[in-house]
């Protein structure tokens, strides 16, 4: 059963972002670590930078140190929306 995100994690938490790659000449799928970065940046990378590669988006895995991995694109989108709203709130407070 797939776990879905119920609480909003710390967007500044350092996470590991993985993408699944297809092994050349084989049907084998291999997880490739892309980077260790803040959760906020990881969700932006998956939603914005990988927007043209649906396979990569759908197979993205964000491994958190404080809780279960985020493997569901719908949860990544929710975090992306939350991060965008938080950025807008911060900008309104500063401006």
In a domain, 9, yes or no: no
Write down the pLDDT at residue 1: 44
Task: Report how far residue 17's alpha carbon sits from residue 56's, in angstroms, rounded to the nearest whole number.
Answer: 11
Per-residue pLDDT of the chain (95 residues; tens, 9 = 90+): 445 555 767 999 999 999 988 777 878 888 999 999 999 999 999 999 999 999 999 999 999 999 999 999 999 999 999 999 988 877 787 76
> Is 68 contained in some domain?
yes
Domain for residue 75, yes or no? yes
Per the domain annotation, does 4 fall within a domain? no
Three-state DSSP class for residue 79: helix
Q: Which residues contact 13 (CB under 8 A, 6 or more apart)?
A: 38, 39, 64, 65, 66
State the residue range of the domain holding 81.
14-94
Q: What sign does the CA torsion over 23, 24, 28, 29 have? A: positive
pLDDT at 3: 54
> Is 8 inside a domain boundary?
no
Number of domains in the chain: 1
Assess contact for 40 and 12: CB atoms under 8 A.
yes
């Amino acid at each position: 059963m797939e776990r879905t995100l119920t609480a909003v994690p710390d967007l500044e938490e350092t996470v590991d972002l993985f993408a699944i790659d297809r092994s050349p000449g084989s049907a084998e799928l291999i997880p490739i670590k892309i980077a260790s970065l803040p959760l906020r940046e990881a969700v932006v990378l998956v939603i914005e930078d990988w927007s043209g590669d649906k396979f990569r988006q759908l197979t993205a895995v964000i491994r958190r140190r404080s809780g279960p991995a985020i493997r569901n694109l719908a949860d990544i989108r929710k975090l992306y929306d939350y991060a965008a709203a938080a950025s807008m709130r911060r900008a309104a407070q500063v401006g």
